[in-house]
Amino acid sequence: MGVIVVEVMPKPEILDPQGKAISTALPRLGFEGFTGVRQGKRFELTVDGEVTPEHLDAAAKAAESLLSNPIIEDVISVRELGGEA
């Protein structure tokens, strides 16, 4: 079983209310020194057998057309899940 990881983040110029809320909550728990937080999404797409270049290509297309909205988000990476994780 292969897994492809797709990571999506809000564009830098787009407000990220969730990230902002987390950013203000961190110091309340004693986590000091972080000047900002951005919250994105991670998708894991599972395939039967090995991940092929075709799978990666299809995942990249899915990432651009469905998993992200190009108006507000950037696709950061489309890659095979490495190691034994």
Partner 1 sequence: MVKIGVVTFPGTLDDRDAARAVRLAGAEAVELWHKDEDLKSVDAVVLPGGFSYGDYLRCGAISSLSPVMGKVIERAKAGMPVLGICNGFQVLCEAHLLPGALIRNDHQKFICRDQKLEVVRTDTPWTSKFTAGQEITVPLKNGEGNFVCDPDDLERIEGEGQVVFRYREFNPNGSMNDIAGVCNEAGNVVGLMPHPEHAVEAGFGPQSEAGPHGGTDGLGLFTSVLTQLVG
* Minimum distance, C-beta of residue 14 to partner 1, in the bound complex (Å): 6
d(CA 40, CA 44): 14
Minimum CB–partner distance for residue 41 and partner 1 (Å): 8
- Whose CA is closest to 60, among 3, 5, 2? 5
Site for partner 1 in 9-68 (CB under 8 A): 10-11, 13-15, 17-18, 21, 66-67
Beta-bridged to residue 5, according to DSSP, are 44, 79
Binder among 46, 52, 69, 77 for partner 1 (CB under 8 A):
69
Give the up-direction half-sphere exposure of residue 64: CA atoms within 13 A in the CB hemisphere. 5
Residue closer to partner 1 (CB basis): 10 or 59:
10
In whole angstroms, give the CA distance from residue 5 to residue 49. Answer: 15
Which residues form the interface with partner 1 (CB under 8 A)?
A: 10-11, 13-15, 17-18, 21, 66-67, 69, 71-72
